[in-house]
Amino acid sequence: MQVKITVNGQPREDAVEPRMLLVHYLRDVAGLTGTHVGCETTLCGACTILMNGQAVKSCTMLAVQADGAKLTTIEGLAKNGQLHPLQEGFWEKHGLQCGFCTPGMIMAAVDLLSRNKNPSDEEIRHALEGNLCRCTGYQHIVEAVQYAAHKMR
């Protein structure tokens, strides 16, 4: 099947198998490996991207379901060599260790900050509860999101 998908602002048209998962389309067809394959059941959130501005888990969505959509991956956040405030926040506030969950965490946080410019710690934790991290203990991740929220206001 042919799909037309805009990925990180770049229009694409690709032939895909009808059963191809969106995460595999991004990694194997589009060559964007920042979106990670974790649990493949939507539990871990490592595959989180933005579809038409909203966070979605790409591991249980078919590529054909994204036909006509605008997708943003972690690779699409930095502009003109400048890190997105959330990427910067994760760096500055030590919100990552191994980095496996980081792209999904950041993309879920982008969605949150697009809807709530000044979230409380509780609101951040609630927004990220579908994303799992086995390294940081979450406090640094919350601090990274607060850093970005402050910088973006």
Which pLDDT belongs to residue 90?
97
Tell me the pLDDT band of 137, cut-offs 50, 70 and 90: confident
* pLDDT band with cut points at 50, 70 and 90 for residue 136: confident
Q: Angle CA(39)–CA(21)–CA(145) in degrees, nearest 5?
A: 55
All domains in the chain, ordered by first residue = 2-74 (3.10.20.30), 85-152 (1.10.150.120)
Q: pLDDT digits over 19-72, tens only?
A: 999 999 999 999 999 999 999 899 999 999 999 999 999 999 999 999 999 999
DSSP single-letter state for residue 138: S
**For residue 103, what is the enclosing H or E element?**
helix 102-115
pLDDT in tens, 78-107: 999 999 999 999 999 999 999 999 999 999
Residue with tokens 């590529």: 63
> Bridge partners of 128?
none
Structure tokens at 115: 């809807």
Tell me the C-alpha distance between 18 and 153, whole Å. 42
